[in-house]
Structure 1
């Protein structure tokens, strides 16, 4: 299917379309790299947001040491696209996924995380049978209450077990503080972040004190990246949203990146003076973080009107909006909105310059 013509004006692109302002995205990539350039903390960006090898390669060119993936399927896309090293930040469990992990490890460096001795042993046994040693990080729960063993002695006990497993190499700890990324007030976010990081770094000290080497202490997202830059005891961070951003992050103080992602939509109906109907609904925009923000029309408010439609309530200057007009929407959550689309329409100076496949879109296994 034809997705657009190079040089096409923004207003001529068929809709609904996922728009990537490439100049803004590249500035964001550079800004994060510059944020870390003089410190000891390295950058391992998370591809769960953009899901696009072309953007991952831009991040690598700016100094990233590798990528992070939420799922093995995303890691497969990245490794086969030439990214040399990927950390899979979700525990890999079950024979099918272990077989995929071992197969992928023959094409690049794939790091895994573990929070259960039995699951770790299953990976180790399978890897040892085929002569592989998989680098592993012990995953800590530093407050999110998702994956991760408890910090302190429980984490040490698991690390000691992993260190004896023939098919694993203990390389570090992971402690992701995802519950803090969108705390709006900067000082409050930093206060809670420091408490979470103390759990992680104290555990790292405990593990090292027991004679186990740890090269990696991995944490961090877009909302806490500012604090992590000068933190002691952290070796790398895993931010993802910073490349494209979204309206939810737009409410968070002190994040410091530009909006580069939009959904372009067309007004398809105006039978009332108070609102218009556009052709982007829940199949084009995720709703887990609320409705998108309308860009460029003062006082306009978007509400979902079904799978295929949205309603934009108008106020003031919106009275001039007509059927056929194009409207830009700022997604409330970039990760889940991107996952609804097959392509980025890459624009520069309001003209289409490329159409990029979102190759890891839908790779949720």
Structure 2
């Protein structure tokens, strides 16, 4: 398969009539190339902790493990179990479990003893609850203190309170306090120099916490920081584990936003023209149920073989586009759509169809799209 991103025909399927639509299609050669690229972008693959929320598959996880990546981040118990099924060495549940989720998390830990599982905590009550359940189950659960560095959804702000929480958690018998976790998804400026400045401002209080803990005699805390936009920045910091996720499939959103990152689009949606409401419009079988719909309508899909089409409206099963007068589109024509946000798009599909050398070559089950696999 031609991996040249300037070749606009790389996505073409020779036998699309064998595939119903809408369909999530994945190009494994491009996935492998993206994994090779990210390993080359960092000094040591041991500092990579990719987030699996994008692909949610055993197959992609195993490709990463084969490339020397052994640490992972996830957001759900199903994703954690999927990683356990792949014998991943080190898995961080980047979520603070409480109530039944703690019980399920402990069940995953017990079911996959070959994998080291950890989780987050951002307050003492939750840390004590996790510790209590760990003691009951004769476990010692590793935790990272979750820092709020600007997303303002979870975490504790870097400073004296975070220091106190780290020390308090370190004294809980059921926990092993490993370090700090910080997600900076609010930093997404297109100019990487601006991203660098904002990242430096963000990192300074975290570095101060690290130094203060070491001065108090604690082992150097591990730092898990960042996502895709700041990955190239933290890749240059030997003290940081990096957690990009979208790189494996890439999408139109990050392709436009992060021009310095040379990843290849590797997951598309195949759709068909199903109707022509009037002389200038066409309708596709590509509704809300087939692509992430949280963005404005014009920021949901980009059609590789029809970039001039204008999105007019979308409902659950339909997408109406303006094609212009005297257009050449016909009922049954195929369109290849690159999602703007691929992560939640993948979660809408039970499986993806693989395309190799222009042919349908198999499927990958999006096994962790569900809230539960077995646990």
The answer to whether structure 1 residue 65 and structure 2 residue 70 are counterparts is yes
Q: Match for residue 52 of structure 1?
A: 57
1:292 to 273, 293, 301: 301
Distance 1:351 1:166, change over 3 A: same
CA distance in 2: counterparts of 1:214 and 1:92, whole angstroms: 25
Q: Match for residue 98 of structure 1?
A: 102
Instruction: Check the 8 A contact 1:142/1:199 in 2, yes or no.
Output: no
Pairs aligned (count): 354
CA distance in 2: counterparts of 1:213 and 1:8, whole angstroms: 57
CA distance in 2: counterparts of 1:264 and 1:239, whole angstroms: 26
Distance 1:271 1:139, change over 3 A: closer
Q: Deviations over 1:118-164 (max 9, x none)?
A: 10011111111222101111111112112111102111100100110
The answer to whether structure 1 residue 237 and structure 2 residue 246 are counterparts is no
TM-score, structure 1 as length reference: 0.92
The answer to whether structure 1 residue 307 and structure 2 residue 316 are counterparts is yes
C-alpha deviation, 1:189, in angstroms? 1.7
The answer to whether structure 1 residue 356 and structure 2 residue 360 are counterparts is no
CA-atom RMSD, angstroms? 2.0
The answer to whether structure 1 residue 325 and structure 2 residue 333 are counterparts is yes
Following superposition of structure 1 onto structure 2, how do residues 1-365 of structure 1 map, counting pairs within 5 Å?
Answer: 9-10=15-16, 12-36=18-42, 38-39=43-44, 42-94=47-99, 96-106=100-110, 107=112, 108-180=115-187, 182-234=188-240, 236-252=241-257, 253-289=259-295, 290-315=299-324, 319-363=327-371
C-alpha deviation, 1:80, in angstroms? 2.7
Q: Deviations over 1:307-354 (max 9, x none)?
A: 0011122248x8111101110111111111111110111112221111
C-alpha deviation, 1:165, in angstroms? 0.4
Q: Secondary structure at the match of 1:158?
A: helix
CA distance in 2: counterparts of 1:71 and 1:141, whole angstroms: 20
CA distance in 2: counterparts of 1:194 and 1:11, whole angstroms: 51
Instruction: Check the 8 A contact 1:43/1:63 in 2, yes or no.
Output: no
CA distance in 2: counterparts of 1:13 and 1:228, whole angstroms: 41
Q: Deviations over 1:99-123 (max 9, x none)?
A: 1122211213111111010100111
Q: Match for residue 4 of structure 1?
A: none
C-alpha deviation, 1:360, in angstroms? 0.4
Unaligned stretches of 5+ residues in structure 1: 1-6
Q: Secondary structure at the match of 1:190?
A: helix
Q: Deviations over 1:255-294 (max 9, x none)?
A: 2211111110010012423221010110101111232111
Runs of 4+ in 1 over 3 A off after TM superposition: none
Larger deviation, residues 322-331 vs 296-305: 296-305
C-alpha deviation, 1:19, in angstroms? 0.9
CA distance in 2: counterparts of 1:104 and 1:246, whole angstroms: 31
